[in-house]
Amino acid sequence: KAGVTQTPRYLIKTRGQQVTLSCSPISGHRSVSWYQQTPGQGLQFLFEYFSETQRNKGNFPGRFSGRQFSNSRSEMNVSTLELGDSALYLCASSSGTGATEAFFGQGTRLTVV
Amino acid sequence: AQSVTQPDIHITVSEGASLELRCNYSYGATPYLFWYVQSPGQGLQLLLKYFSGDTLVQGIKGFEAEFKRSQSSFNLRKPSVHWSDAAEYFCAVGGVLTGGGNKLTFGTGTQLKVEL
């Protein structure tokens, strides 16, 4: 069974640009969550999508957005990039119903210069 | 609000020695508890989970954890550490939210170094 796939693995962007990250969850999983990991703030929850709808949202500015497609694949978009957006972005896949564990992808390392 | 405290930022143990990583949580209802491990530049791998039932849970790679409700703790243990266990370990708490779904709150992590 294939795991969670995130693409690309590495990105370098310039301040002010926008970026789109992709996540393909485990087959059969309907929930995709996104987390930001930085040395200063640790692991922080961005948002969760379930059946193409945003179900939960963390405390991030509106520049951070996402969507989910009918095949459960999800994309996360960050507009008007700031230096502080440099981070490892992790996607987590779960069944989305009841008590369930989350399985993480390898992450996308975003560097904003 | 839910929170997780991992009081040890760094721990060094000798290969073959026993290991205990501490985790304390704050959660308003019955928590779901997890331990994840992360190698440099990699994602998070689930070591074990607690949802309900037996308070001593077994995970992969010989790890176990014990849920103690009275102490709000979920400490991770391993009887004999291997050099390949060197990594960062994260404790996380979650639960089913009002509108459904899960949100994990992570501790700040414990960096484990293993001396040969």
Using one digit for the tens of pLDDT, what is the confidence trace for A5-15?
A: 999 999 999 99
Out of B42, B97, B102, name the one closest to residue A100 (CB): B102
All residues of chain A having their beta carbon less than 8 Å from the beta carbon of residue B103 are 33, 45, 48, 56, 58
Give the pLDDT score at B92.
96
All residues of chain B having their beta carbon less than 8 Å from the beta carbon of residue A98 are 96
Out of B32, B46, B103, name the one closest to residue A56 (CB): B103
In terms of Cα–Cα distance, which of A15, A32, A11, A25 is closest to A87? A11
- Tokens linked to B83: 């050099």
In terms of Cα–Cα distance, which of B42, B38, B106 is closest to A44? B106
SS3 label, residue B72: coil
Peptide bond into A8 cis (omega under 30): yes
Q: What is the pLDDT along chain B (116 residues), one digit of tens a residue?
A: 789 999 999 999 999 999 999 999 998 777 899 999 999 888 999 999 999 889 999 999 999 999 999 999 999 999 999 999 999 999 999 876 666 677 899 999 999 999 99
Q: Are strands A64-68 and A74-78 parallel, antiparallel or unpaired?
A: antiparallel
Distance (Å, rounded) from C-alpha B82 to C-alpha B114?
A: 7
Phi and psi torsions of B95, nearest 5°: -175, 165
Give the pLDDT score at B30.
77
DSSP letters for B19-53: EEE--EEE-SSSPEEEEEEE-TT--EEEEEEE-SS
All residues of chain A having their beta carbon less than 8 Å from the beta carbon of residue B51 are 99
The confidence band for A110, taking pLDDT boundaries of 50, 70 and 90, is very high
Distance (Å, rounded) from C-alpha B34 to C-alpha B93?
A: 6
Q: Is pLDDT above 90 for A48?
A: yes
Give the pLDDT score at B101.
74
Give the pLDDT score at A96.
79
Distance from CA of B12 to the nearest CA of A (A): 20
